[in-house]
Amino acid sequence: MDIRIGNGYDVHALAEGLPMWLCGVRIESATGFVAHSDGDVAIHALCDALLGALALGDIGHLFPDTDPAWKGIDSKILLSKVMDRVRAGGWRVGNVDVTIALQRPKLAPRIAEMRATLAPILGVGADAVSVKATTTERLGFVGRSEGCEVWATVLLLKD
Ligand code: MG
């Protein structure tokens, strides 16, 4: 069996009155993400991890923010398109692990929904999709609620 590992990282700025999407789930919040797409910074990091595992570049290369086709797009569609690339190479997801750094709101009540949303797109059970959330103890740009930072790791398998 062949295995590949990939990591992804993304940051989006927060601003008042914009929607907040994380792992495909709409989060109730007074602030949301500044972005060309729907701003789902967690899915963007996950896409970069998948692309990174296969050395296929990055999400900005695949879906440039200068292209009006991607304006306001649901990031779940971007993830599906990235998964098409993964499957085209004969790969499948083993597991993914996502860490979201956000000062507020608290994400713990929505984690199960996030895992259940991502799992079918990734073609795995929710038990293979880890989503973790942390604050940064009010330190740095995350702690000042100026933005959100996400790290994602994926394992890909080919039988
Ligand atoms: Mg992004």
User: Measured in angstroms, how far is the CA atom of residue 10 from the centroid of ligand 1?
Assistant: 6
Decide if pLDDT at 74 tops 90: yes
User: Measured in angstroms, how far is the CA atom of residue 159 from the centroid of ligand 1?
Assistant: 31
Q: What is the pLDDT of residue 66?
A: 86
Separation of CA 103 from chain center: 17
Q: What is the pLDDT of residue 108?
A: 97
User: Measured in angstroms, how far is the CA atom of residue 60 from the centroid of ligand 1?
Assistant: 8
User: Measured in angstroms, how far is the CA atom of residue 38 from the centroid of ligand 1?
Assistant: 9
**CATH code assigned to 2-158:** 3.30.1330.50
Q: What is the pLDDT of residue 65?
A: 84
Decide if pLDDT at 70 tops 90: no
Average pLDDT, the chain: 96
Alpha helices in 41-151 (DSSP H): 41-53, 59-62, 75-88, 111-122, 140-143
Token digits for 90? 């004969």
Q: What is the pLDDT of residue 68?
A: 87
Residue 71: band (very low, low, confident or very high) from pLDDT cuts 50, 70, 90: confident
User: Measured in angstroms, how far is the CA atom of residue 127 from the centroid of ligand 1?
Assistant: 25
Q: What is the pLDDT of residue 72?
A: 86
Residue 25: band (very low, low, confident or very high) from pLDDT cuts 50, 70, 90: very high
User: Measured in angstroms, how far is the CA atom of residue 35 from the centroid of ligand 1?
Assistant: 7
User: Measured in angstroms, how far is the CA atom of residue 5 from the centroid of ligand 1?
Assistant: 20
Region 36-49: mean pLDDT is 96
Closest C-alpha to 24, from 3, 54, 44, 6: 44
Region 41-53: mean pLDDT is 98
* Domain layout of the chain by residue ranges: 2-158
Task: Tell me the CA distances in angstroms from 107 to 5, 25, 28, 45, 129, one per residue in order.
Answer: 27, 11, 10, 17, 16
Region 77-88: mean pLDDT is 97
Residues 108-158 pLDDT 10s: 999 999 999 999 999 999 999 999 999 999 999 999 999 999 999 999 999
Whole-model pTM: value is 0.96
